[in-house]
Amino acid sequence: MDVTVVGLVMKSDAIGRRRACDQSYATPCFRIVKQSGNIWPRRGAPEGSGAGLAHQRKIYFRRSKINDFKKDGKRVAVAACSLLSVFLPGQVKAAPIQGDIDFSGVITFDTMSLATATRVNTWDSSFVSQSSGDFAAFTNFLDNATMSAPWIFNTGTPGSPLPGGPLAALWKVGGFTFDLNSSSVVLQSSTFLNVTGVGVVSGNGFDPTPGFFSFTASADGSPQPTFSFQANSAVPEANTVGLLAVGAIGWVGIYYRRRNRRHSPVTTL
């Protein structure tokens, strides 16, 4: 018989004996492109029928798929561990600040009316009115806070407000420091002012954490209106990172599944 084979694990010689090829079972890429005459007999397959070769191919295919499954399973496991090691350490080792802190007190603006104010000239008094989370562990009610002045919250005009610029250490209390990135006027009238801003809070061994605040002031035209300052930290959700890791692991599995399909053996008898 004459058999032309590409990547064959076993082949027959002229006297019907089987001879093992040097190729590994882990490489299931072979194809029979031509055959004629008798082939070696297999169990339950009459010699010369071609069934023996088909049976041999079936056994080889199954063994190779099992081997590939084991190897690919190990590869997926290794890839999964690698991805988790990339995503999770930042969550395990990081110590972002969580919680809220509020301040109250008396301030002096650059004008006598809130309707035309663009900055805080003096923080006459500022103290902690309440705190929660990590802030509560380092601050107490009525603790004095150090505030930076002047604080320009509007770089434009009252009629055409523009965002205020950055200010280092806008407030400091209990070992925490808030560095302002920017602020914007939300609402302004002669009796009420609302400004929001974003920045970074740090201190007490925690990682620098993005923070948001809302500043409100009310007055009846007096030079020392009262204010309320509510700040809170924003922490990335662990569930989001976990979903990203699971999605990445899923893509690894899809990659190996498609690769197996591309390398599946094709037999033409």
Give 120-165 pLDDT, tens digit per residue.
999 999 999 999 999 999 999 999 999 999 999 999 988 899 999 9
Q: Would you state the pLDDT for residue 159? A: 87
Check pLDDT > 60 for residue 62.
no
As to burial, measured by CB atoms within 10 angstroms (0-12 exposed, 13-18 middle, 19+ buried), residue 22 is: exposed
Q: Would you state the pLDDT for residue 22? A: 44
Highest mean pLDDT (candidates 28-32, 243-247, 263-267) = 243-247
Which residues make Cβ contacts (< 8 Å) with residue 261, sequence separation at least 6?
none
Give 84-129 pLDDT, tens digit per residue.
555 554 444 568 999 999 999 999 999 988 899 999 999 999 999 9
Q: Would you state the pLDDT for residue 172? A: 96
The residue written with tokens 């890429």 in the block is 29
Q: Would you state the pLDDT for residue 124? A: 92
